[in-house]
Amino acid sequence: MLEHLIVCRHGETEWNIQRRAQGRADSPLTAAGIAQAQALGRALAARGVEHIVSSTLGRALHTAEIVADITGCTVSVDERLVERAFGELEGQRFEDMALDPMWTAVVRCSDPDATAPGSESLREVAARVMAALESAMALPYRSIAVITHGQSISALMGTLHASGDYSAYRHGNCGYTPLHVREGGLVVDAWNIDPLAVLEAEAATVTNPK
């Protein structure tokens, strides 16, 4: 029976650097993104993760494959974990979109019901991501990692915290949030843990023991 579900964001991409809205479009991982995924793999291995469920988008799958190589886990995919659809905003720079008041709520996640033409609201994203997590919870493992996307995580966390402003829940690349399964629900154990920072802290402890 599942006890721990760890929600992770994919590694840094070229469009992340350029501050572009990726949505359902895709962009390759950078060298830094690959290093982040490797650090995430080591962190998840230490947590005893047994299986990985990934978004079907390339940047998430590449991250999942790197993590799987390190952890020895199997990987399955769930299309419901893909990033928020941005519609006509996809590929545009965030700073350019933010200049238009019409799109500010969409870009900044301040309104969970805001949409652009062809896009999803954060509430819609949260509904499908929650459904994907419910399916993951039925898998025959004790600890599972989910590899998904920034605004998908914001939508999920805003829902779990019953928050009207999802903008508070920004996730760094390869940041991870452990969730504890309790009485059929999900409880947030920690928030947006940086795997590189964890590894650096562990290395410092080994180098400079008390």
132-191: pLDDT as tens digits: 999 999 999 999 999 999 999 999 999 998 766 788 888 999 999 999 988 778 998 888
Q: Residue 11: its pLDDT value, please?
A: 98
Look at residue 208 in the predicted model and tell me its pLDDT.
67
Task: Give the model's pLDDT for residue 207.
Answer: 64
Q: Which of 4, 50, 51, 83 is catalytic?
A: 83
Q: What average pLDDT score do residues 98-111 get?
A: 81
Q: Kindly report, residue by residue over 29-54, the tens digit of the pLDDT.
A: 999 999 999 999 999 999 999 999 99
Largest CA distance in the chain: 57
Q: In whole angstroms, give the CA distance from residue 160 to residue 130.
A: 9
pTM for the full predicted model: 0.92
Please tell me the predicted confidence (pLDDT) of residue 98: 77
3-state SS, residue 170 = coil
Q: Which of 180, 181, 201 is nearest to 189 (CA)?
A: 180
Question: Is 51 among the residues known to form the active site?
Answer: no
Structure confidence at residue 206 (pLDDT): 59
Amino acid 210: pLDDT = 63
Indicate the annotated binding residues for substrate: 9-16, 59
Cα atoms found within 13 Å of the Cα of residue 64, Cβ hemisphere only? 27
Summarize the confidence of residues 48-63 as an average pLDDT.
98
**Residue 172, pLDDT score:** 96
Indicate the domain borders of the chain: 4-84+120-207
pLDDT the model gives residue 198: 79
Write the CA distances from 145 to 98, 112, 124, 131, integer angstroms.
Answer: 33, 25, 22, 15
pLDDT digits (tens, 9 = 90+) for 69-103: 999 999 999 999 999 999 988 999 988 887 887 78
Active-site option among 10, 62, 149, 171: 10
Tokens of 55: 């978004």
Binding residues: 9-16, 59
More confident call, 105 vs 84: 84
Q: How many other CB atoms are found less than 10 A from the CB of residue 45?
A: 14
Reading the block at residue 150, the tokens are 């920034």
Q: Read off the pLDDT of residues 1-22 as tens digits, 9 standing for 90 and up.
A: 899 999 999 999 999 999 999 9
| pLDDT over 70 (residue 209) | no
Q: Which fold has domain 4-84+120-207?
A: Rossmann fold (3.40.50)
The percentage of the chain sitting over the pLDDT mark of 70, rounded to a whole number, equals 95
- Cβ neighbours, 10 Å, residue 81: 26
Whether 83 is a known active-site residue: answer: yes
